[in-house]
Chain A
């Protein structure tokens, strides 16, 4: 499940992860649970097509938890081993929206018991101290299992993840360096620190 604040790069990451896992011969289903954002579903569909990965249909305005429910059932029926769920961007201060995410998580836990759940929070490298606040909130609500650091192809260094890792001990798993589908890499601390100090 891919979560994070508005504009952090979730949909792009969902596409990139799909692309990457597809190359490793996985059977993937993309689930467009961002039913709020205008053309959000279309955006993910284009990335799905570019990656050669299947995406279930969803309608704008549908209940995200229902979309996830349907997605999981479809994935199980079609014998998929990976389900990638894109969610709507939300500010961590919006309690109702955070509750909605918690509800979605519960659906996943109930319906997809045989799958291991990875909750990835996307953090934009250009973010300031507020990223810590974001990470805390998302972690409190959902239990974040990994961070994806995006937009590292700019001049921002993303140093805030040091504070996040120190305070919350959430592993930084992936790093994204561009808008292309293959610009996704495993996070390597040494490389990151070198770039930080350069």
Chain B
């Protein structure tokens, strides 16, 4: 489960395996690797410097050099420290007991404010509130139309009086409007702006001066680099930002910006955006973010996804198929596709009971990384007759030729698939090695 950083440490510590203890140089090398990992994750360089120095003190305190399992210890400390920084007690939005609760979304251009505004409204609605979205981006072409369309699609009420009024007046009109309707939360979408654009930053300050804002949320792109801390600082200087929403975490960005912002500004990260759909909105989990920043992959989320896809019913079905020796190529393909939908097959295959011994015997690496591999397998299996899929043993040379031609693949690819299938079937016959449910852990 531990990828990059752990591997790098392994290399450093290979030589100390025999002496068993770390010296000063080993520790320095280790810190160097951590530093690189954090910079690669886009943590601000100043924050990295401070973090490493604090880490060094921590390592001295915990007497790492005397530990028999230094790698695990160091990773644990780094992880713990990052989680400590990212954690916060104040990480939900506050809703006034007397309406309305007014929330403002601000940030640079392209960070996902409009999309997030709609998600936030949906989130509030799910909690039993009646939100109203307010369009104050009077600058960008079709910005109001964008909010309008998104609101309509999700059946969320939206308020706009066009582009001829300034933001403060629009919001005041929205507040008036909301008192007549049964609205208890107002969510203000604003125009994207540069922190160095005085006119637009003044607009934000004008809004803060004139409107009672409960939540002032800074929307930050998870792919942001070193400059994100600079721009965020200025936003926070100009208005009292009290929360951050980190967007586009469905990509593969490590999201180090989260660490920079939380460490320096101390503002809680309240939510994360994980996609363009309205439901792709979650509370922020410091542990998962720490794991991601360190490059250990969002393993926890993956485990959750696997556990939900392979629920009790699913597992029983799979178990029955395997036990009755009826596990055929159709099933094989179905399981591969299912795993691929969750994530990389290679990452997941050992998380599924029954399959968790397979990785030792079969190289699923290619399948894990290449979408084309699964497409090829689909093409090959589609070119088989139903009988061939249920009884792959009948697939002789001439059938293989036919199948490879029909699927546009090479014969060796057909052979490989069949070989993998037989291997998987053999291993499955042996039965599950480890039961994965925590409470049944052996």
Contact = CB atoms under 8 A, between A and B. Distances in A.
Interface of A: 5-9, 37-40, 42-43, 45-47, 60, 91-95, 99, 124-131, 133-134, 151, 153-157, 160, 179
Interface string B76-116: 00000000000000000000000000000000111110000
Interface string B397-417: 000000000000000000000
Contacts of B184: none
A135 to B, nearest CB: 12
A45 B250 CA distance: 30
30 contacts: A6-B112, A7-B110, A7-B111, A38-B145, A40-B142, A40-B146, A43-B142, A45-B142, A60-B149, A93-B250, A94-B250, A126-B224, A127-B223, A127-B225, A129-B40, A129-B41, A129-B254, A130-B42, A130-B254, A133-B253, A154-B108, A154-B196, A155-B195, A155-B227, A155-B231, A156-B227, A156-B231, A160-B225, A179-B109, A179-B140
A40 B145 CA distance: 9
B371 interface: yes
- Cβ-closest 10 pairs across A and B: A7-B110, A128-B225, A128-B42, A156-B227, A46-B141, A38-B149, A39-B145, A43-B142, A130-B253, A42-B142
Given A39-B148, A43-B140, 13 more contacts: A39-B143, A91-B248, A92-B252, A93-B251, A95-B371, A127-B221, A129-B41, A131-B223, A131-B225, A153-B194, A154-B194, A156-B225, A179-B109
Contacts, number: 121
Contacts of A127: 221, 223-225
B228 interface: yes
Contacts of A7: 109-112, 221, 248
Contacts of A9: 109-110
Contacts of B225: 126-129, 131, 156, 160
A40 B139 CA distance: 15
Contacts of B58: none
Interface string B185-211: 000000000111000000000000000
Interface residues of B, number: 42
A128 B224 CA distance: 5
Given A126-B228, A130-B253, A38 B221 contact: no
Nearest to A125: B227
Interface string B218-248: 0001011111101100000000000000001
Contacts of B196: 154-155
Secondary structure of the B contact surface, majority rule: loop
A169 to B, nearest CB: 21
Contacts of A155: 195-196, 227, 230-231
A154 B231 contact: yes
B153 interface: yes
A6 B248 contact: yes
A30 to B, nearest CB: 13
B41 A5 contact: no
B223 A128 contact: yes
Contacts of B149: 38-39, 60
Contacts of B228: 126, 128
B64 interface: no
Nearest to A46: B141
A5 B247 CA distance: 13
Given A95-B371, A129-B42, A43 B251 contact: no
Contacts of B252: 92-93, 130, 133
B75 interface: no
Contacts of B110: 6-9, 124, 151
A130 B223 contact: yes
Nearest to A7: B110
B251 A130 contact: yes
Contacts of A157: 227
Interface in B115-161: 139-143, 145-150, 153
A77 to B, nearest CB: 28
Nearest to A89: B110
A98 B143 CA distance: 26
Contacts of A154: 108, 194-196, 227, 231
